[in-house]
Amino acid sequence: MNLYHCMIELKDGARALAFAAVVEVWMNGLQEKGLIVRWRLMRRKLGLASGSLTDFLLEVELESLGQLDTFFDTLSKQDAEMARRYEQMHQMIARSEVGLYRPYPDQQQQERIALI
């Protein structure tokens, strides 16, 4: 399992509920196509955060790095409707930061350590 995190700050004037609705349609479309396992959108609670932590966190779960590669490849070739939805979502974003995470320690690492 791999978790792709997107920390998102919206543009001034962008409406949070409209953003959430567009994200839901777009991400559900990706999930229905089998490009992702699961996703969730979270919003900072009570405005509490420090430093560079953003208002929104989008978490996308993928089975493998191969699925991530297929995900990005498919996005570059998406149909007109999905491209329009992506553009709607992207136009609301002022900035984003991304990261790819995995469970730790993972099964492969545990097996490697056991061999030593």
Cα separation, 104 vs 107, in Å, equals: 8
Which positions of the chain have pLDDT values less than 50?
none
The pLDDT score that the predictor gives to residue 60 is 95
Displacement of CA 84 from its chain's centroid (Å): 18
Domain that holds residue 19: 2-115
The pLDDT score that the predictor gives to residue 116 is 55
Query: Could you give the number of structural domains in the chain?
Result: 1
pLDDT in tens, 16-44: 999 999 999 999 988 998 999 999 999 99
The pLDDT score that the predictor gives to residue 58 is 97
Alpha-carbon separation of residue 100 from 16, 41, 47, 68, 89 (angstroms): 24, 16, 25, 10, 21
CATH number of the domain residue 78 falls in: 3.30.70.100
pTM of the entire structure? 0.82
